[in-house]
Amino acid sequence: MAGNAGEVSDAAPAPLRVRRQPVAAILRRTFRRLPLHLLVIFLALLWSIPTLALLLSSFREPGDVVTSGWWNAFTHPFDLTLANYEDVLTTRSMDRAFINSLIITIPSTFFVVLVAAFAAYAFAWMQFPGRNALFIVMVGLLVVPLQMTLIPVLRLYTDLTIDAEMPLLGGRVFGTSSYIGIWMAHTAYGLPFAVYLLRNFFGSIPRDILESAYIDGASDARIFFRLIIPLSMPAIAALTIFQFLWVWNDLLVSLILLGDPELAPMTLRISSLVSSFGTQYQLLTAAAFISMALPLAIFFALQRYFVQGILAGSVKG
Amino acid sequence: MIGRRWWTPWIWLSPAVVLVSVFLLYPVLNTFVTSFMDADSAGGIWDLIDDPDKFVGLDNYEFIIDNPRPLVSNTHAALYNNAFWLIVFTGLTVPIGLLFAMLAARVRYEAVAKSTIFIPMAISFVAASVIWRFMYEFNPDVGTINALKTAAGSDSTAWLLDRGSPQTPFTDAGPDTAWGPLQVNNFALVMVGVWMWAGFAMVVLSAGLKGISTEVLEAARVDGAGEWQIFRRIILPILSPTIVVVATTLVIQALKKFDLVWVMTGGRAETDVVATLFYTEAFRQGEFGRGAALAVVLLMWVVPIMVISIRRFQFQEETR
Query: Which pLDDT value is given to residue A317?
Result: 34
Does B238 reach chain A within 8 Å, measured CB to CB? Answer: no
Q: CA of A201 to nearest chain B CA: how many angstroms apart? A: 13
AA identity, residue B135: M
- Name the more confident of B319 and A299: A299
Query: Which pLDDT value is given to residue B91?
Result: 94
Q: Are B34 and B292 a contacting pair, CB within 8 Å?
A: yes
Q: How does pLDDT run across A214-269, given as a tens digit for each residue? A: 888 888 889 999 999 998 888 898 888 889 988 998 888 998 888 778 888 999 98
Q: CA of B287 to nearest chain A CA: how many angstroms apart? A: 11
Q: How confident is the model at residue A76 (pLDDT cuts 50, 70, 90)?
A: confident
Residue A69 is nearest to which of B1, B19, B141, comparing CB atoms?
B141
B-interface mutation test, from A101, A151, A219, most B Cβ less than 10 A away: A151
Least reliable range by pLDDT among A85-89, A228-232, B312-316: B312-316
Q: CA of A210 to nearest chain B CA: how many angstroms apart? A: 9
Rg of chain A on CA atoms, in Å:
25
Dihedrals phi, psi of B69, to nearest 5 degrees? -125, 65
Q: Which of A114, A310, A159, A177 is nearest to B198 (CA)?
A: A310
Tell me the CA distances in angstroms from A317 to A298, B250, B266, one per residue in order: 20, 8, 21
Residue B16 is nearest to which of A139, A147, A195, comparing CB atoms?
A195
Query: Which pLDDT value is given to residue A314?
Result: 54
Q: How does pLDDT run across A121-146, given as a tens digit for each residue? A: 999 988 889 898 999 888 888 888 88
Name the packing angle between helices A34-58 and B144-151 (round to 10°). 120
Tell me the chain B residues in contact with residue A185 when contact means C-beta distances shorter than 8 Å. 23
Does B212 reach chain A within 8 Å, measured CB to CB? Answer: no
DSSP type of residue B210: H
Residue A251 is nearest to which of B105, B253, B259, comparing CB atoms?
B259
DSSP-based helix, strand, coil % in chain B, nearest 5: 70, 0, 30
Q: How confident is the model at residue B51 (pLDDT cuts 50, 70, 90)?
A: confident
Judged by CB atoms closer than 8 Å, whether chains meet at A65 and B142 is answered as yes
Q: What is the ipTM of this complex?
A: 0.84
Alpha-carbon gap, residue A30 to A34, rounded angstroms:
6
Alpha-carbon gap, residue B314 to A213, rounded angstroms:
29
How many other CB atoms sit within 10 Å of the CB of residue A73?
Answer: 20
B-interface mutation test, from A144, A242, A258, A306, most B Cβ less than 10 A away: A144
- Choose from A156-170, B49-63, B114-128, B189-203 the range with maximum mean pLDDT: B189-203
Is residue B310's pLDDT more than 80?
A: no
Tell me the chain A residues in contact with residue B1 when contact means C-beta distances shorter than 8 Å. 125-127, 210-211, 214
B-interface mutation test, from A64, A139, A314, most B Cβ less than 10 A away: A314
- Name the more confident of A13 and A134: A134
Name B39's Cβ contacts closer than 8 Å, sequence gap at least 6: B286, B287, B288, B289, B290
Query: Which pLDDT value is given to residue A3?
Result: 40
Tell me the CA distances in angstroms from A153 to A186, B217, B280, B293, one per residue in order: 12, 53, 17, 16
Alpha-carbon gap, residue A180 to A92, rounded angstroms:
25
Restricting to B residues 131-150, those with a Cβ less than 8 Å away from any Cβ of A are 131-135, 137, 139, 141-144, 147
Average pLDDT over residues B296-310: 84
Judged by CB atoms closer than 8 Å, whether chains meet at A314 and B309 is answered as no
Does B103 reach chain A within 8 Å, measured CB to CB? Answer: yes
Count interface pairs A-B at CB distance under 8 A.
336
Average pLDDT over residues B116-126: 87
Strand, coil or helix: what is A165? strand
Tell me the chain B residues in contact with residue A45 when contact means C-beta distances shorter than 8 Å. 116
- Name the more confident of B315 and A272: A272
Does B119 reach chain A within 8 Å, measured CB to CB? Answer: yes
Strand, coil or helix: what is A104? helix
Judged by CB atoms closer than 8 Å, whether chains meet at A119 and B314 is answered as no
Tell me the CA distances in angstroms from A65 to A72, A80, A279, one per residue in order: 10, 11, 10
Is residue B104's pLDDT more than 60?
A: yes
Tell me the chain B residues in contact with residue A44 when contact means C-beta distances shorter than 8 Å. 112-113, 116-117
Tell me the chain B residues in contact with residue A9 when contact means C-beta distances shorter than 8 Å. 105, 110, 210
Average pLDDT, chain B: 84
Q: CA of B209 to nearest chain A CA: how many angstroms apart? A: 8
AA identity, residue A212: S
Alpha-carbon gap, residue A150 to B292, rounded angstroms:
9
- Closest-CA residue of A relative to B126 is A267
Is residue A15's pLDDT more than 60?
A: no
- Name the more confident of B301 and A22: B301
